[in-house]
Amino acid sequence: MSRGQQAAAWFDTAAFRRPDFVDSRAPRPTYKFGNSALGVLRGPRFFTFDTTLQKAFAVRERWKLQFRAEVFNPFNIPMLGSPDTEVTSSNFGRIRASYVPFNESFGARSIQLGLRLDF
């Protein structure tokens, strides 16, 4: 199953339905939930893989040049967000966004190059 197919149907939505009201005539009716445990719906895992390569060169006796290449998300794997868990939503069970948990700039593969001269 592809990542796109997983995002379109993360879990079996037929196993869930809108819960009944405890008292539907109350001014603010509350729902009566079933017997499922807490945390039965889980989203996809989040993982990140970054790599760095660096090499230092002696330019003169006291001068050193360092070349550095950093690659963030080198395999370009999209991190999916949490599925929609609102039973009445038309997108119930679907993942509609990428997950940006720790770094707002997380996304597609990016490469950063750098040079450093120590003297």
The model's pLDDT over 11-31, given as tens digits with 9 standing for 90+, comes to 777 777 777 767 777 787 666
DSSP 8-state class, residue 28: S
- Report pTM: 0.55
- Residues 64-83 have a mean pLDDT of 87
Q: DSSP string of 32-92?
A: E--SPPTT----------EEEEEEEEE-SSS-EEEEEEEEESTT----B-PPP--TTSTTT
- pLDDT above 90 for 54: yes
Interatomic CA distance for residues 82 and 95, integer angstroms: 6
- pLDDT above 80 for 106: no
Interatomic CA distance for residues 55 and 36, integer angstroms: 55
